[in-house]
């Protein structure tokens, strides 16, 4: 099922399935993003809140794979390319691709949760 997502092949889907295991243990996309490590590091002190780079915590393999696959996905998926182009106007390319990786992770979660193939026009 994961191979129906543009840019994800056999090896990538095997790694994703092995590292994520049971998708149902993650109640929300925020929990899954935290597990992978695609969330920003926060520096809170009193009333000030600052958001930094992505956290060093999380599954190193999944984080690396998702970022690398995101570079491939923006070649094949027009909506991810649009998201990348919109993000690149506000930030540098390496930060923009992390944003795309989060969107890709959301698609992966959708496919695994619903057990149905990914369709490009379903608006995710």
Q: What is the per-residue pLDDT for 124?
A: 47
Residue 69 and residue 36: Cα distance in Å, rounded? 14
Q: Is residue 121 part of a domain?
A: no
Average per-residue pLDDT for the chain: 89
Q: Is residue 65 part of a domain?
A: yes
Q: Is residue 64 part of a domain?
A: yes
Residue 6 and residue 26: Cα distance in Å, rounded? 23
End-to-end CA distance of the chain: 16
Q: Is residue 123 part of a domain?
A: no
Q: Is residue 101 part of a domain?
A: yes
Residue 78 and residue 83: Cα distance in Å, rounded? 9
3-state secondary structure of 51: strand
Q: Is residue 49 part of a domain?
A: yes
Q: Is residue 99 part of a domain?
A: yes
Domain of residue 96 covers 2-116
pLDDT in tens, 20-62: 999 999 999 999 999 999 987 665 676 766 656 676 778 999 9
Q: Count structural domains, the chain.
A: 1
Q: Is residue 29 part of a domain?
A: yes
Beta partners for residue 51, in sequence order = 42
Model confidence at 97: pLDDT above 70 = yes
């Amino acid at each position: 099922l994961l191979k129906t997502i543009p840019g994800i092949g056999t090896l990538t889907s095997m790694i994703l399935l092995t590292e994520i295991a049971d998708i149902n243990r993650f109640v929300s996309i925020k929990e899954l993003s935290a597990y992978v490590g695609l969330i920003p590091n926060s520096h809170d002190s009193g009333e000030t809140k600052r958001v930094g780079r992505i956290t060093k915590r999380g599954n190193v393999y999944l984080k690396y794979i998702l970022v690398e696959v995101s570079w491939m996905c923006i070649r094949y998926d027009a909506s991810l390319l649009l998201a990348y182009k919109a993000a690149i106007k506000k930030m540098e390319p390496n930060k923009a691709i992390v944003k795309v990786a989060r969107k890709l992770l959301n698609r992966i979660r959708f496919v695994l949760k619903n057990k149905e193939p990914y369709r490009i026009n379903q608006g995710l």
